[in-house]
Structure 1
Amino acid sequence: MLRSSSLQPYADDLSVEVQAAIQEIGQYFGIPNPKVLILDHWHVVVPVVYNVSLPSRGAVDGIDIREQEPMLIRLSLNSYPHAAPFLLSDRKDFPRSRLSHLYFTTDDEPARLCLVRNNPHEWFATIKLRDFLDVGGQWLYKAATGQLDEDGDEFDPTRLEGNIGLKHIYRYDLINEVVSQNQRFIPDLPAALFIGGQLLKAGKVDSYQTNAHVPFIVFEKVRNAIAILSTEENEELVANPVFTFVFWDPDGAMDNLYLTSRPKNYGQLKLFFSLRGIDLHQALLKLEMLGAIPRLGLPIVFAIKRPRRVIGYNGNYEFINFLIVLPAEGVAAIDDSRKVKLQGHIEPFSKDMAVTLSDRNQTSASLYIGAGSLGSKLILHDARSGNLQIGICDDDTMLPHNLARHALVADRLGQNKAEALASIIKQFYSADKTDKITAITSNAIYLDKEFQEYQCIIDTTASVQVMNFLISKQLPTNTRYYKAEIADAGALGLLYAEGYNRNPRMDDLVNLASFNATKIEQLRTWRMNDAQREVTTLNVGLGCSSTTSVMADDTLGFHASVFSRMLAKATTQESQGMSGILAISSLDESKGSPSISTEYLDVQAFDILNCKAGSGWEVRLMGGIKELLFANGNRQAPKETGGVLIGIANYKTKTIHVFDIVVEPQGSHGTYCEFVRGNKGLPAEIDEIKRKTGEVIGYIGEWHTHPMNLKGLSTKDEKTIAELRVLNRTVPIPTCALIVTPDELLVYVYE
């Protein structure tokens, strides 16, 4: 019985992308009008039938795979093509219990085929829908012939000696301002009240921290809030709230004497304060009566006015920090022999401190897409430099194997990476507002309004899927897209930055890196190494998890540090006329000791041509190609000239990137009315480009001139294009013809 028999037809509007996918499915299976059925609120399915070539005696081991296998192709209504389709069985009796490479689904859900070892959305970002459908057929064939498990042996599983009390953390300027302005808690007492807490670690007090001044006018609200908090049970509590009392000389007297004897007990502390005009015991009794002293450790700070600014600080007050642990009966029960501890003062880590220590004055609101090993290091570099406007997008959790290179450590295992990093950054900056440190736990392709909040988008996923998605998004004009990735097993780091008005665009830059393998040795080594990595089995993966890269943490850390410095430089560029960036970090260990180098290339805007044939394709010419084409046309006029285009095509974005041209290959000749392009030596020249670029960049189209200013294709051009379309479909590449007139470039692209 078919599951599709109980599904209802989908009658609402479909996106252009989904409509195109349904049409392609129909063409693939020979279905003139494919049915579109409602699977759930987010997906539709298209019923199809696969013809499976079974062994002569039927499927092996009696597994019920049929020659006519009914399947459902699931499409996302809102996210296709950034979200991959899935292949589901239309049969309720599909033999799921006897087949591997199926997703774990409940009995009332359709069996869902696992077609690829890696992330299916990432995989689909690199292929056409027809390829997806082909792999579905191969899966069924393998299921029928017992070959699904041929690659199944791999499985990929997931910080004052003596009687010194705990440290007291507070901002000097916070207390200095209150004391300097004589902001008393009550008029007859030279003291101020601050709210803070005992910071806990594993249930024990680790340190004290003072965060904010509490004037008398708001004291009651603060006290009541503390009372409520103290009665609640909270196993995750990281601080017990306490008040800190700061005292100063009631006459504002200046003291230029150094302290040589510190009080060791409460009696000596009272004397210390008495010599400075303060009856400490009576002051504490009065504060206790007001409800300002809970039964916890009592931090007391005495401010001594000095004749000059205190070294390292911006004020003339020196603060001496004491800690008294009160008896359960309260202040009245304090014995003079009760020990008093000194507390060491520590400035909390703050944005201002971070900026000063990092020597980085400019920070931009940054959205990081990807919080993996590379992303986590870049995020923390940025945060530690004082950036408190950081968004972190990642839907993945911290797994044990991530400990090899990730910035997070073992106490964060099982947590979402974005949330864990955001939590850590907020802990760094306990004295600052951190509401703009944001974790986004959804997949990047669901981002939309979030882009409005950031000037920098840093993509560390090395994901074609994410790149295609970001290319398709209309980003704010003040937002710049960066992409960072590590290649060639850690030997190479690549950082890309789009130019003004997103030109050059990210795909221009990524493909340019491959083309530059024809000029830059490190890039050539990378591309050629990639080309030599052989795939020997169909990419149908055990557990559908990607294999973790083999790379040392220090290798990744080197590239992350270089990227961080490059990003700091890039964010200072003037936006108007801003060029794109292709930055390369290289780590060469082939001769023993590591050799490192960096290269920083400015990339000018590409010239953009839209297809005149209405196919929706776009041709993007690297800076200088346009001028080169016109120069060649003018040189040969009034005769026609031409040659071939060197570049790459992307069917997902319907874009052709052109990085070079070949002018009049051997055997070419032109007249006043036509150009015949020769072929002698051209295949070898193209093959050499392909070899150096790892089979990425190659022949991508034809160009010739119309010196008589014919603004379109000639009859001969149309005939030649028709012939080329037949040949190019076997590669497959689109057929691209570029016409150079005296004042215009015209491009025609056909699939």
Structure 2
Amino acid sequence: MLHSNSLQPYAGELSVEIQSAIQEISQYFEIPNPKVLILDKRRIVVPVTYKVSLPNMGAVDGINIGEEEPMLIQLSLNKYPHTAPFILSDRKDFPRAWLSHLYFTTDDEPARLCLVRNSPHEWFATIKMRDFLDVGGQWLYKAATGQLDEDGAEFDPTRLEGNISSKHIYRYDLINEVVSENQRFVSDLPAALFVGGQLLKAGDIYAYQTNAAVPFIAFEIVHNAIVRLSKEEDQDHGANPVFTFVFWDPDSAIDDLYLTSRPKNYGQLKMFFSLRGIDLHQALLKFEGLGAITRLGLPIIFAIKRPRKVIGYKGNYEFINFLIISPTGGIGALDDSDEIWLQSHIEPFSKNIASYLSARKQTPATLYIGAGSLGSKLILHDARSGNLEIGICDDGKMLPHNLTRHELFADQLGQNKAQALADIIRQFYSADNTAKIAAIKSSAIYLDSEFQHYQRIVDTTASVQVMNFLLSKQLPANIRYYKAEIADEGALGLFYAEGYDRNPRMDDLVNLACFYATKNEKLRTWRMNDAQREVTSLNVGLGCSSTTSVMADDILSFHGGIFSRILSKAVTQDSADMSGIVAVSSLDETKGFPSISTEYIEVSAFEVLNCKAGSGWEVRLTSGIKEILLNNCKQYAPKETGGVLIGIANYKTKTIHVFDIISEPQGSHGTCSGFVRGTLGLPAEIDAIKKVTGDVIGYIGEWHTHPMNLKRLSARDEETIAELVELNRTVPIPTCALIVTPDELLVYVQE
């Protein structure tokens, strides 16, 4: 019996595209005058016959595939060629129950071949009709020779098609565990009860979600909570609580046949369950008597035990989702003719899915300090990559002008930024434990014990106060401090990462970036622009203003994306050999269209010297300077030599950073008993450094050698320092004298 025997010829007009398709079908199958039949008001079919090359002994496993298979090529009257054609079996006795890669259709519909796992429409957009027809022939050959299942060790799940009402979101492993362990709600029924919800948007149901199993002992508590929520009609919960009913074969029998008959109404659904040993109607009446049916929409899942692991997850159960729209009269009022809907199923967004799709395996616990525009982007990048150990510290609220660049939206105006971002992340991961997503609604300077919970600190505040505070803290040994900021009105992004054992330290790196302006053109442009730039103040209310940058959101997002990628790669550094990082992302639009680039500078540990005079000051020398000084001492011995130190001082942290030295300026003279530093050309040389670094880096002290190994200040040294102290206080800078012996550096600092 053929489906085409009952179809009527199509006599209407055909588009040029469909006429061309029919001509190609005619040529492919060598049919001079192909029939065009009406499948329904939207689709036509062309009957064809495929010749199938069978094995000598016939089709594998006795599957009823013949040498000639009558098929139907289906075309959409209104949408072809923008929607793909389909290939249907013309046989009413096609062995669909024994074959995979078929859509789940009703008894009166022709079996529909699934030729591609992804969208058939996208696939067809890239191929010709002849290629499409070739794949149909290959499908039949594979069916006859037992090669349809390319994943031989896994079972291919049912392809759902037609009458799909909505999505049903749940974790496959959650349902699989309950069914595999036969965790029945009541002992005489192969069924479990789960709690979930109808997910709402603008009052409409857009999906169902199943979250957790409800054992009988906990049912009353859960039921009462649902009833209580249901009565709060004036509250917008974003979901209506519902129960989901999961059934399985009472004997846990393995079923290796593919589903072929999709129930269209309640009577057919009861028959579907009856064939599997379950009286569905009586089961639902029992649940109704317990008070488990609280909504008109009843999501039902049937779990089918397959002979092999099902493709897509680690379990052997395949899940088919139905939705019954129960009448107001309850289950007893259901009629056999009432329509039944299928639900497509999808895993909820989870840590595992996020990590897999982001190709990110390591997501260390991270404390973000600052939840402003830049911070919000880094926080959500990290969260979307599967990190569920995130702390967010910010005491600020979302204000209207923040909408320009912030990841939060208008419905979060007035909320604390840290709390709002934490709430969003928790909503992402409704199926995961989000207890370690923490909002800290206070200033960073009050942080203390919180640090022990994290392996990374990411500071996006651009606050010197916050940086100084973090420099003063004795952080846990396993924590690494990162800092990100935008510079030069968005032209540059600067990202810093401390090295092993906090060396180089954050202030080393931030100031080093300024010094690198002496070597790097992009940094030089930034520093010189910065020295001339006026701070922009935005009026946000009567009598108050906010210092902010004029910058488009896409510029900030560009740098934020680069910073996020650096963060993901930095965790792979070996901790013992971990150097510091200064990364520069550049967006140059001075010549019209944007030109982008990134540079990464690895920074070795600084040499750290403490003041020998007990002033509490610390001098930090960039890597390599110590060796240069010791070599100078050796090279010029027995005479003394010297020069000046180039760097910057921070009175708040009592730290001097030295990035370079100038040796023996013109006019300098050294003897075996002393050194007189010359000044010829020195002011101009230092002014040039100050200019290109935006008046940040300059003269910061003196150095000279004691080749005879005098490990203290000489009387003349003390006199010179006393003179310099008075002079330097007018600048003001501390007075720093660095003594270089053959094997040691000695530093003396006075304010």
**Matched letter for residue 392 of structure 1:** I
The corresponding residue for 2:274 is: 274
Structure 1: runs of 5 or more not aligned = 1-159
In structure 2, the residue matched to 1:454 is: 454
Which residue of 2 is the match for residue 517 of structure 1? 517
Q: Distance in 1 between matches of 2:611 and 2:251?
A: 84
**Greater shift in the superposed pair: 617-626 or 262-271:** 262-271
1:87-116: per-residue Cα shift (whole Å, max 9, x none)? xxxxxxxxxxxxxxxxxxxxxxxxxxxxxx
Secondary structure at the aligned position of 1:335 is classed as coil
Query: Which residue is 2:568 aligned to?
Result: 568
The CA deviation at 1:200 is 2.9
Report the Cα offset of residue 162 of structure 1: 6.1
CA shift, 1:233, in A, is: 6.0
Amino acid at match of 1:182: N
**Cα deviations by residue, 1:454-498 (Å, 9 ceiling, x for unpaired):** 110000011111111111111111111100011111111111111
How big is the shift at 1:236?
3.9
**Which residue is equivalent to 2:427?**
427
* Residue 646, structure 1, aligned to residue 650, structure 2: no
Residues 488-532 of structure 1: CA distance to partner in whole angstroms, max 9, x if unpaired?
Answer: 111111111111111111100000000111111211111111122
For residue 685 of structure 1, report the CA deviation from its aligned partner: 1.2
The match for 2:402 is: 402
- Is the 8 Å Cα contact of residues 640 and 671 (structure 1) preserved in structure 2? yes
Counterpart in the other structure of 2:338: 338
Residue 629 of structure 2: aligned partner: 629
Deviation at 1:266, TM superposition (A): 1.8
- AA matched with 2:599: E
Residue 232 of structure 1 and its aligned partner are, at CA, apart by 5.0
**2:473 is the alignment partner of 1:465:** no
- Cα distance in 2 for partners of 1:237, 1:668 equals 79
User: Quick one: distance in 2 between partners of 1:729 and 1:444?
Assistant: 33
Query: Is 1:581 matched with 2:581?
Result: yes
Shift of 1:563: 0.6
Question: Please, which runs of 5 or more residues in structure 2 have no aligned partner?
Answer: 1-159
In structure 2, how many angstroms separate the alpha carbons of the residues matched to 1:181 and 1:281? 24
CA shift at 1:349, angstroms? 0.3
Moved more, 588-597 or 517-526: 588-597
Relative to 1, partners in 2 of residues 1:253 and 1:387: Cα closer, same or farther, differing over 3 Å? same
Q: Distance in 2 between matches of 1:484 and 1:296?
A: 52
Equivalences for 1:158-307 in 2 at 5 Å?
163-232=163-232, 235-307=235-307
1:115 matched residue in structure 2 = none
- Contact 1:455–1:479, Cα closer than 8 Å, also in 2: yes
Corresponding residue for residue 593 of structure 1: 593
Identity, in percent, stands at: 78
**Aligned counterpart, 1:501:** 501
Kindly indicate whether the alpha-carbon contact (under 8 Å) linking 2:536 and 2:547 is maintained by their aligned counterparts in 1: no
Task: Tell me which residue corresponds to 1:555.
Answer: 555
> Conserved in 1, the CA contact under 8 Å of 2:536 and 2:549?
no
Q: Is the 8 Å Cα contact of residues 242 and 296 (structure 1) preserved in structure 2? A: no
Q: Which runs of 4+ in 1 moved over 6 A?
A: none
Shift of 1:234: 6.2
What is the aligned partner in structure 2 of residue 656 from structure 1?
656
Map 1:65-80; keep pairs closer than 5 Å: none
- Comparing both chains, which one has the higher relative contact order based on Cα–Cα distances under 8 Å and sequence gaps of 6 or more? 1
Query: For the structure 1 residues 240 and 713, does the alpha-carbon distance in structure 2 shift closer, same or farther, using more than 3 Å as the test?
Result: same
C-alpha deviation, 1:228, in angstroms: 4.0
Contact 1:295 1:330 in 2 (8 A): no
The answer to whether the 8 Å contact 1:711/1:741 transfers is yes
Q: Secondary structure at the match of 1:298?
A: strand
Q: Is the 8 A contact 2:687 2:698 kept in 1?
A: yes
CA distance in 2: counterparts of 1:561 and 1:709, whole angstroms: 53
CA 1:276–1:536: 2 relative to 1, 3 Å = closer
The letter of the residue matching 1:437 is I
1:543 aligned residue: 543
Partners of 1:543 and 1:747 in 2: how far apart? Answer: 49
The answer to which of 716-725 and 589-598 deviates more is: 589-598
CA contact (8 A) 2:535 2:547 kept: no
Decide whether the 8 Å contact of 1:295 with 1:328 is kept in 2. Answer: no
Q: Distance in 1 between matches of 2:361 and 2:625?
A: 39
Question: In the alignment, which residue of structure 2 is the partner of 1:609?
Answer: 609
1:702 alignment partner in structure 2: 702
CA distance in 2: counterparts of 1:705 and 1:542, whole angstroms? 60
Paired position in structure 2 for 1:53: none
Q: Which is worse superposed, 528-537 or 482-491? A: 528-537
Q: State the Cα deviation string for residues 151-186 of structure 1 (Å, max 9, x = none).
A: xxxxxxxxx886432321101111122223332222
Deviation at 1:602, TM superposition (A): 1.4
> In the alignment, which residue of structure 2 is the partner of 1:686?
686
2:470 is paired with a residue whose SS is helix
Q: TM-score, normalised by structure 2?
A: 0.76
Per-residue CA distance 1:8-33 (angstroms, 9 max, x = gap) = xxxxxxxxxxxxxxxxxxxxxxxxxx
1: CA distance, partners of 2:228 / 2:596:
58
Q: Root-mean-square deviation (CA), in Å?
A: 2.1
Measure, in 2, the Cα distance between the counterparts of 1:436 and 1:260: 46
Mapped partners of 2:178, 2:702: distance in 1: 76
187-196 or 300-309, which deviates more? 300-309
C-alpha distance in 2, partners of 1:566/1:298? 47
Mark the CA change 1:252 to 1:534 in structure 2 (over 3 Å): closer, same or farther. Answer: closer
**Residue 750 (1) aligns with residue 727 (2):** no
| Separation in structure 2 between the aligned mates of residue 236 and residue 704 of structure 1, nearest angstrom | 74
1:231 Cα deviation from its structure 2 partner: 4.3
| Greater mean alpha carbon deviation, residues 695-704 or residues 284-293 | 284-293
> Structure 1 residues 712 and 603 mapped into 2: Cα distance closer, same or farther (>3 Å)?
same
What is the DSSP-based 3-state SS (H/G/I as helix, E as strand, rest coil) of the residue aligned with 1:551?
Answer: coil
- The one-letter code of the counterpart of 2:683 is P
Q: How far apart are the structure 1 equivalents of 2:253 and 2:594?
A: 62
